[in-house]
Amino acid sequence: MDIPHTHDHDHAHDKLHARARLQAQIKALLLVGLGLYFAWNIVSGNLANYINARFAWLSYVAAAILLVLGLWQLWLLLRGQSTEHTHDHEHEHDHGVSWGVIGIVALPLLLGTLVPSRPLGVEAIDGNISISQAAASADSVATFTIAPLERNVLDWLRVFNSTADFTELNGQPADLTGFVYTEPSFGEAQFMIARYAVSCCVADASALGVPATWPDSASLEAGQWVRVQGSFQVATFRDDLLPVLQVETLEPIEQPDHPYLYP
C-alpha cells in the first residue's frame, strides 16, 4: 500500500533535483556572462562611461571573481556535482536559488548587452546645470597652481568659487573642451561649455558649465563637442554678473575617450 506514496515521493524529489540543477546551470552561466561583460567593458574602453577611472581596478577584480566562480560551478556541474546542496536526502527541502533572484541578476546583464554603452550627454541635464557647485569648491588651492590655459571646466569653476572679485579674472585666457548646452533664458549669443563631474560613478554625476558667448552660437547644436579659446570678461549671465568666456575661436571636435571630469 506504500508503493504509490514512495513513487510520488521519488517523483517529487526528482523534480526538485532537476529544477535545482537547472537553476545552478543558469546561475553559473550568468556568473560567466557577467564576468565577460565586465571584461568587455574594460577591453573596449566603455568602462569610462560608467565609473571614475581611479576605481577601474574594482571592475578588474569583479571580472576575475565572477569568471572564476562561474567556471568553477560549470566544472562542478560537468562532474555531476551540485553547488546548490541538491544531494539526495529523504526530506523535500529546496536549497536552490529562486527564479526571482536569477531574474534580478540577469536583468543588468540583459540591459547592459542590449542598451548601447555611451556617456551622459546633454539630454540628461534637463536644466540642472551648475556654475557654482559643491564639487567645484574643493581643492581650489591646487587649482590656482594650474596655468590658465591648462585649466578645464571644473578647474575654472573652482577658480570662480575662490575669487571674491570676478573682475580679477578679466582678460585671463582659457582653452576649454566640452559639449554645448543652451537654455531659452540665456542671452543672445550665449551658451555654456559643459562637462560632467563624476566622483565615483555616473549615479553621482553633476553637470557643470562655464558661461560663454560667441556671435554665431545659434548655429551650434546642443550636445555638440567643441574646443573653444578666448578670454574671460565679467558680464551678465542668467541675471548674475559672472566671468563669461568671450570665445575667439571655436572648433567642433569628437567626443573625448574620457568625457567626464574627476574631482
- pTM of the entire predicted model: 0.69
Q: Are 113 and 37 in contact (CB under 8 A)?
A: yes
| 180: nearest Cα among 151, 152, 149, 217 | 217
Collect all residues with Cβ–Cβ distance below 8 Å to 76 and sequence separation of at least 6.
82, 83
> Looking at the chain, how many residues does it have?
263
Name the helix (H) or strand (E) containing 23: helix 3-44
Each residue's pLDDT expressed in tens, for the chain with a length of 263 residues: 455 555 555 666 567 677 777 878 888 888 888 888 888 888 888 888 888 878 888 889 988 998 998 899 888 888 875 444 444 444 444 445 667 777 777 787 777 777 777 788 888 887 668 675 444 555 555 667 899 999 999 999 999 988 999 999 999 999 999 999 999 889 889 999 999 999 888 888 889 999 999 999 989 999 999 999 999 999 999 889 999 999 999 999 999 988 999 88
- What are the backbone angles phi and psi of residue 20, rounded to the nearest 5°? -65, -40
Q: Give the pLDDT score at 107.
A: 80
Residue 84's SS3 state is coil
* Residue bearing cell 562561474: 70
Q: Give the pLDDT score at 117.
A: 73
Q: Are 59 and 38 in contact (CB under 8 A)?
A: yes
Collect all residues with Cβ–Cβ distance below 8 Å to 262 and sequence separation of at least 6.
52, 53, 54, 197, 198, 199
Q: Give the pLDDT score at 87.
A: 45
What are residue 251's DSSP bridge partners? 227
- 210, amino acid identity: V
